[in-house]
Amino acid sequence: MTPTKRQGHKRRLPLKARVVAAAAALLLGGGGTAVIAANASAGSAGKPAARTSDGAAGAARTAATIACPDVGDRLREVPDPARQKVSEGLAELDAQVARAYERAAASGGDGRAVLGELKQQRSATIGRMADAIGERSARPSDLTELSGCTSQQVRTEAAADGGGQVRSLGKAVPGGPAPADFADIRKAPARPRPAARSGGSTGTFTSSCGRNENGHFNSDNVIVTPGVSNGAHHTHDYVGNVSTNAFSSNASLAAAGTTCTNGDLSTHYWPVLRLLDGKAAPDANKPGGGHDGNMGKVLRPASVTLQFRGSPASKVTAMPRFLRIITGDAKAFTSGTGNANASWSCVGFEDRQLKDKYPICPDGADVVRTLAFQNCWDGRSTDSANHRTHVAFARADGSCPRGFRAVPQLVQRITYDVPAGAAFAVDSFPEQLHKPVTDHGDFINVMPDALMAKAVGCVNRGQRC
C-alpha cells in the first residue's frame, strides 16, 4: 500500500520553553576523555554551570519527565484501510506527549493539570485509532486503557564509581543527558561471546554503504509512521537506499539508487549522534532538530559497518524482500526496557558493552554504537502491527523460538570520533531526555533476491564475503 501524503503536525514553542541540551560535565581521570555540556537555548551559546560555595559546580539530583504507555507496541492487528489513520494517530500521540513535557518543564510547577489535559487528548486520539481499526475488524477496546500518563522522577547526579574517576562538574537540567548517563568503559564487565556449535553457520556477509556522505537526513519513520512527515520527531542518518522517507513504498524503494557498492538497495537508518557544545546547529529551527528539542552539531560517523552474521545453532534461510525490522526502543526510558537493545562501547573495548550509559572512552578511542537485529523470522510476514511480533531474537542457546526460523542477523556498527572534552547524545523524543537506552536502528531488506542468496550462502558455508 502506498500511503497518502500527509503533512505532519506543526509545533512551534517560544525558544525559552525549549529544553535543548544538558548542563552536565564529567571528567575521567588518568588521561581519559573529558565530557562537558552546557545549558543552552536555541540560537544561544552555552553558559558555565553555577558554582557552589566550595567551588564545585552544583548538580541537581532529580528531574522529572512524563511516562506514557506505548500504544504502538500494543497493536496486534491493523487492517490495510486503517493504516493511514493509525499512523497519523501514533504521530499525534507522540506530539501530545512532547508538548505536555515541554509545558511541564517550562512551568516548573504542579504537573497534574498538564497530565489531565494530556489524558483527554490521548483518549480522543486513541479512540479515533480504535474506531478506524474497528471498521474492518474487531475494535481493540483495550487501547483506551493506555490514555493515562504519569510524572516520572529522573536521577541526574553521577554515580560514585569507587575510584573517584568520574566527578560531576556541572549542573544537570531537564533535557538530558545527565552526568549519571555516562560511565567509564574500562569499568564495564567483559562479556564473552557464545561459541558456535556443530551445525551452526559461522560466515559473514558485509554490505559497504558509506557513512552518509550524501547527506541523507530526515525526521520521518517509514516503518512506524508511514505517510506522516516528521513522524520520528528526531533526525535519522541513512545509508543504503537513497530515496527513503515517510512516503516510500516497496515499489519506490526497489526503483531507487543506493550508496552500497554491491547493489544492495536496503534501507538502514538510526538516530543521529550530536555534539553538545551549546552552539546552534543548522537545523536548530527545523523538524527533527531544535523544533523537537534536538540541538547540537550532527556528528558524521567515522565508519559504518553493515554485517550479516550466522546462527550458532543452525543454518540460516533467506530474509524475504521488504522485511522490516526495528531493534531497540526509542521510548525505552519511560516505557520500560522490554524492547531495549542499545549497546555502547569504545574501539578496543568492544568486549565491554553498556546498555544504559554513554561510554567515556580513553583518549584516542572512538565511541561505538552496535545495533544487533532480531535473527529469527516467523516465515510468513514482512511486518506486523507493532513491527515486532513477526521477528524475534534467538534464545540463549542460539536456537529460534518455536514457529520461527533463523535468518542472517544484521549488525549495524557505527563509530564516532568524538572530540576530546565534548559531550554527546543520541537524538530522541523530548521526554526521553536523550537517554542512551533509547538507541535503536531500523532496516528494510531491499536486497535483490540473488544478492540475498549470495549472503545466505556465504554465511552457511562459513565464508567471509
> Do 119 and 219 lie in a common domain?
no
Residue 123 lies in a domain: yes
Mean pLDDT of 299-322: 97
> Do 285 and 403 lie in a common domain?
yes
> Do 197 and 119 lie in a common domain?
no
pLDDT for residue 158: 61
> Do 135 and 191 lie in a common domain?
no
Q: How many Cα atoms are found within 13 Å in the side-chain-facing hemisphere of 312?
A: 11
Mean pLDDT (the chain, rounded): 84
> Do 361 and 229 lie in a common domain?
yes
At 53-104, the pLDDT tens digits run 333 344 446 778 999 999 999 999 999 999 999 999 999 999 999 999 988 8
The last residue of one of the domains, among 105, 138, 155, is: 155
> Do 294 and 415 lie in a common domain?
yes
The last residue of one of the domains, among 155, 189, 211, is: 155
- Cβ-in-10-Å burial (0-12, 13-18, 19+) of 31 comes to exposed
| Of the listed ranges 100-114, 142-156, 195-209, 370-384, the one predicted with least confidence | 100-114
Residue 435 lies in a domain: yes
The pLDDT confidence band at residue 161, using thresholds 50, 70 and 90, is very low
Judged against a pLDDT cut of 70, whether residue 400 lies above it is answered with: yes
pLDDT for residue 259: 98
pLDDT for residue 12: 41
Mean pLDDT of 29-49: 31
> Do 144 and 207 lie in a common domain?
no
Judged against a pLDDT cut of 70, whether residue 357 lies above it is answered with: yes
Judged against a pLDDT cut of 80, whether residue 263 lies above it is answered with: yes
Residue 11 lies in a domain: no
The pTM assigned to this predicted structure is 0.85
> Do 119 and 208 lie in a common domain?
no
pLDDT for residue 104: 86
Contact 179, 25 (CB under 8 A): yes
Mean pLDDT of 155-174: 44
pLDDT for residue 251: 98
Judged against a pLDDT cut of 60, whether residue 46 lies above it is answered with: no
If one counts every other C-beta atom within 10 angstroms of the C-beta of residue 412, the result is 21
Residue 238 lies in a domain: yes
**Which 3-state string (H, E, C) describes 352-386?**
CCECCCEEECECCCCEEEEEECCCEECCCCCCCCC
Residue 8 lies in a domain: no
The last residue of one of the domains, among 114, 140, 155, is: 155
At 198-256, the pLDDT tens digits run 789 999 999 999 999 999 999 999 999 999 999 999 999 999 999 999 999 999 999 99
Q: Where in the sequence is the domain holding 201, given as residue range(s)?
A: 181-461
Q: Which of 462, 191, 206 is nearest to 311 (CA)?
A: 462
pLDDT for residue 185: 95
Judged against a pLDDT cut of 90, whether residue 278 lies above it is answered with: no
Residue 30 lies in a domain: no
Judged against a pLDDT cut of 60, whether residue 329 lies above it is answered with: yes
Q: Which residues pair with 32 in a beta bridge?
A: 362
117 vs 13, higher pLDDT = 117
pLDDT for residue 138: 93
> Do 247 and 293 lie in a common domain?
yes
| Of the listed ranges 34-43, 164-173, 318-327, the one predicted with least confidence | 34-43
Residue 308 lies in a domain: yes
- Take residue 94 and report the three cell numbers written for it: 507522540
DSSP state of 314: S
> Do 69 and 186 lie in a common domain?
no
pLDDT for residue 52: 30
CA gap 80, 99 in Å, rounded? 30
> Do 276 and 370 lie in a common domain?
yes
> Do 143 and 212 lie in a common domain?
no
Contact 326, 441 (CB under 8 A): yes
pLDDT for residue 154: 83
Residue 271 lies in a domain: yes
User: How many structural domains compose the chain?
Assistant: 2
